[in-house]
């Protein structure tokens, strides 16, 4: 029953859908079904919940038409607060009320994390220019909303690099399934489970940064504040509609409790801020809490396609060569093409990697891997076209032409934020060093294995 509800997170409102079919053009898994000109529906068994259909849909509730469903019914169906914005046919179920209710309890010890891509898009919902970089205002808003600790997914992204980088080196040196696939993107993971179960072993066993942060909140984080794990309410702010599904996966309970209790999209966070009458644009810049809110530039570039690969290379180079990399800017990993090859010469080893953005582009690569025709070591895959900055939970543009502009600006802001950081490599983040000293031991160690790694299972 629970599984059924999760699978149906993305829906199309048949009354608003005109059957134009643009959603099925962007759907990477052909999950949208229906005749041209007739209302479309989402095949939940195929859907990976990326929300690209939600972003492209322009079938809105026209004030000049009459519908059987009232606006308030429609808002209720979507778990949306009372807003006056136009509603579109493709939508996702929100968690606004769930989180609002828990935040109203002032005794609640809440911890929140924010994905790298949220800080470059949230301000758009308050009329600021597309791609405005606002980590400080975002923190200030979260504090005013009543979150006890404002932590960061970027910290967990650094942690992911420590584990995933070590896992890669181990697979190369000791012989493991290669190429290794990144596992940060839950829609990609779901896609492998759905469509390529025979390649599941290629997925890194690392949890995504969201889930690593969640399990750290209810163990290390709880200990830092001297609270019981069961008292911690763990919330994630994500640019993604599939992260809700990931947080609810039954295996994501390694702290002994559900590691991430609720996920809000960027859009839903904006609703919370507006409903609390917080003047976002006038907020001061505030800082993330320590220890789980400190991050390197490598952590923040997880939000763009190629970012995980670039961050991994910055650390893996040092793991392999024991020397610092000359230039941390791996520009060959950045770019627009759906499939990009990045080769890194480490002296003893030519590390061959591939970066894929847009799930449709990965199919030919996976077919090659199945035929044993590939020789590369590591592959990053992001479902959304420009990475998480273009996720299904991000601010929705009214006009298609602004979508492109938004991606460009959010990307530029992400790299700018990387450059601004004191530390550019995950392993140089002092709080990462400390968490290994005080709590985790070593990457791939016993405690890491229990708290930071996971397993996958074929859907069929």
Partner 1 sequence: MNSFVLGDPKKCIGCRVCEVACAVAHLDTEIKTVGNMNFSLNPRLYLVKSHEITMPVQCRHCEDAPCLKSCPVSAIKKQSNRIVIDETGCIGCKSCMIACPFGAIELIFSHQESVGDGDLLQNEPEVIASKCDLCGGEPACVKACPREALQYVDMVKERTQRRIAAANKMGGFHNEFMVRE
Any contact of residue 295 with partner 1 (CB under 8 A)?
A: no
Our finding on whether 19 is near partner 1 (CB under 8 A) is: yes
Question: Closest CB to partner 1 among 37 and 430?
Answer: 37
255 is catalytic: no
Active-site residue flag, 167: yes
- Closer CB to partner 1, residue 17 or residue 294? 17
Please state the closest distance from residue 388 (CB atom) to partner 1, in A.
Answer: 17
Sheet holding 378-382, edge to edge: 180-181, 378-382, 350-357, 339-345
User: How is residue 15 annotated by DSSP?
Assistant: T
State the Cα–Cα distance between residues 332 and 340, nearest whole angstrom. 8
The yes or no reply on residue 21 touching partner 1 (CB under 8 A) is yes
Q: Could you give the dihedral angle defined by the CA atoms of residues 196, 364, 10 and 24, in that order, rounded to the nearest 10 degrees?
A: -140
CB of 189 or CB of 270, closer to partner 1:
270
| Identified catalytic residue from 167, 193, 380, 431 | 167
240 part of the active site:
no
Cβ–Cβ < 8 Å for 271, 80:
yes
One DSSP character per residue, 134-158 reads -HHHHHHHHHHTT-SEE--HHHHHH
Q: Which of 254, 388, 425, 431 is catalytic?
A: 388
Helical residues (DSSP H) of 177-283, grouped into ranges: 186-195, 209-216, 222-225, 243-247, 266-275
Q: Taking CB under 8 A as the rule, does residue 226 contact partner 1?
A: no
Active site residue 388: yes
Cα separation, 254 vs 451, whole angstroms: 6
Distance CA 406, CA 409 (A): 5
Nearer to partner 1, 32 or 161 (CB): 32
> 337: which residues sit within 8 A by CB, 6+ positions away?
none
Q: Is 398 in the site for partner 1 (CB under 8 A)?
A: yes
Identify whether 231 is a catalytic site residue. no
Per CB under 8 A, 124 contacts partner 1: yes
Q: Is 457 part of the annotated catalytic residue set?
A: no
Answer yes or no whether residue 428 interacts with partner 1 by CB under 8 A: no
Q: Alpha-carbon distance 403 to 387, whole Å?
A: 13
Residue 84 CB, nearest approach to partner 1 (Å): 5
Rounded to the nearest 10 degrees, the angle between the axes of helix 96-104 and helix 266-275 is: 50
- Please state the φ and ψ torsions of residue 91, each to the nearest 5 degrees: -150, 170
- Count residues binding partner 1 (CB under 8 A): 37
Q: Out of 18, 321, 361, 374, which residue is the one contacting partner 1 (CB under 8 A)?
A: 18
109 binds partner 1 (CB under 8 A): no
Measured distance CA(186)–CA(119) in Å, rounded: 20
Q: Which C-beta is closer to partner 1: that of 45 or that of 398? A: 398
Comparing CB distances to partner 1, the nearer of 104 and 401 is: 401
Tell me: does residue 401 bind partner 1 (CB under 8 A): yes
For the record, the structure tokens of 81 come out as 């607060």
Instruction: State yes or no: residue 144 binds partner 1 (CB under 8 A).
Output: no
Tokens of 255: 């702290």
The catalytically annotated residue of 25, 33, 251, 285 is 251
Annotation marks residue 85 as catalytic: no
Residue pair 266/243 in contact by the 8 Å Cβ criterion: no
Q: Are strands 350-357 and 262-265 parallel, antiparallel or unpaired?
A: unpaired
Q: Per-residue string for binding with partner 1, 47-66, x by CB under 8 A? A: -----------xxxxxxx--
Q: Is 246 a catalytic residue?
A: yes
Tokens matching residue 277:
């009458």
Question: Which is catalytic among the residues 164, 195, 428, 431?
Answer: 164
DSSP run (H or E) holding 380:
strand 378-382
Are the CB atoms for 161 and 208 separated by under 8 Å?
Answer: no
> What does the block give as tokens for 245?
């599904």
Closest residue by Cα to residue 265 from 93, 35, 13, 423: 93
Instruction: For partner 1, give the closer residue by CB, 90 or 301.
Output: 90
User: Is 339 among the residues that bind partner 1 (CB under 8 A)?
Assistant: no
Question: Per rule CB under 8 A, is residue 126 in the interface with partner 1?
Answer: yes
Nearer to partner 1, 18 or 43 (CB): 18
Which of 103, 115, 117, 130: binder of partner 1 (CB under 8 A)?
130
Using the rule CB under 8 A, which residue among 14, 227, 319, 397 binds partner 1?
A: 397
Stretch binding partner 1 (CB under 8 A), from 45-53, 361-369, 398-406, 440-448: 398-406
Name the residues that contact partner 1, by CB under 8 A: 18-22, 36-37, 58-64, 83-86, 88, 124-127, 130, 267, 270-271, 274, 395-402, 406
Give me the active site residues, please. Answer: 164, 167, 184, 204, 243, 246, 251, 388
């Amino acid at each position: 029953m629970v599984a059924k509800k999760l699978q149906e997170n993305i829906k199309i409102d048949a009354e608003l859908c005109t059957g134009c079919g643009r959603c099925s053009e962007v759907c990477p898994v052909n999950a949208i079904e229906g005749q041209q000109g007739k209302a479309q529906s989402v095949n939940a068994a195929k859907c990976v919940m990326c929300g690209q259909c939600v972003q492209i849909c322009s079938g809105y509730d026209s004030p000049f038409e009459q519908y059987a469903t009232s606006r308030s019914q429609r808002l209720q169906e979507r778990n949306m607060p009372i807003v006056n914005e136009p509603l579109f046919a493709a939508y996702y179920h929100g968690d606004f009320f769930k989180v609002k209710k828990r935040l109203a309890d002032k005794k609640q010890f809440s911890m929140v994390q924010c994905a790298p891509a949220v800080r470059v898009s949230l301000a758009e919902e308050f009329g600021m220019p597309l791609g405005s970089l606002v980590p400080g205002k975002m923190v200030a808003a979260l504090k005013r909303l009543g979150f006890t600790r404002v932590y960061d997914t970027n910290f967990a992204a650094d942690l992911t690099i420590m584990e995933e980088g070590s896992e890669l080196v181990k697979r190369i040196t000791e012989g493991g399934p290669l190429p290794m696939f990144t596992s940060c993107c839950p829609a990609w993971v779901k896609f492998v489970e759905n469509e390529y179960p025979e390649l599941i072993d290629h997925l890194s066993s690392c949890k995504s940064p969201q889930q690593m942060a969640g399990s750290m909140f209810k163990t290390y984080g709880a200990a830092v504040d001297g609270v019981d794990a069961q008292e911690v309410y763990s919330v994630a702010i994500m640019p993604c509609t599939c992260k809700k599904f990931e947080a609810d996966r039954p295996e994501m309970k390694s702290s002994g409790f559900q590691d991430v209790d609720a996920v809000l999209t960027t859009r839903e966070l904006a609703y919370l801020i507006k409903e609390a009458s917080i003047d976002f644009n006038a907020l001061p810049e505030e800082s993330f809490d320590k220890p789980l809110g400190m991050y390197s530039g490598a952590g923040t570039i997880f939000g763009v396609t190629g970012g995980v690969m670039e961050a991994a290379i910055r650390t893996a180079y040092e793991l392999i060569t024991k020397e610092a990399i000359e230039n941390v800017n791996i520009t060959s990993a950045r770019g627009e093409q759906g499939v990009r090859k990045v080769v890194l010469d480490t002296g003893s080893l030519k590390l061959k990697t591939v970066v894929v953005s847009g799930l449709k582009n990965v199919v030919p690569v996976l077919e090659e891997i199945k035929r044993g025709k590939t020789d590369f070591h590591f592959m990053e895959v992001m479902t959304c076209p420009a990475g998480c900055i273009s996720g299904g939970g991000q601010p929705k543009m009214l006009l298609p032409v602004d979508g492109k502009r938004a991606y460009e600006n959010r990307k530029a802001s992400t790299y700018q934020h990387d450059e601004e950081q004191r530390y550019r490599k995950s392993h140089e983040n002092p709080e990462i060093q400390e968490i290994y000293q005080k709590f985790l031991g070593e990457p791939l160690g016993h405690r890491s294995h229990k708290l930071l790694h996971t397993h996958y299972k074929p859907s069929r």
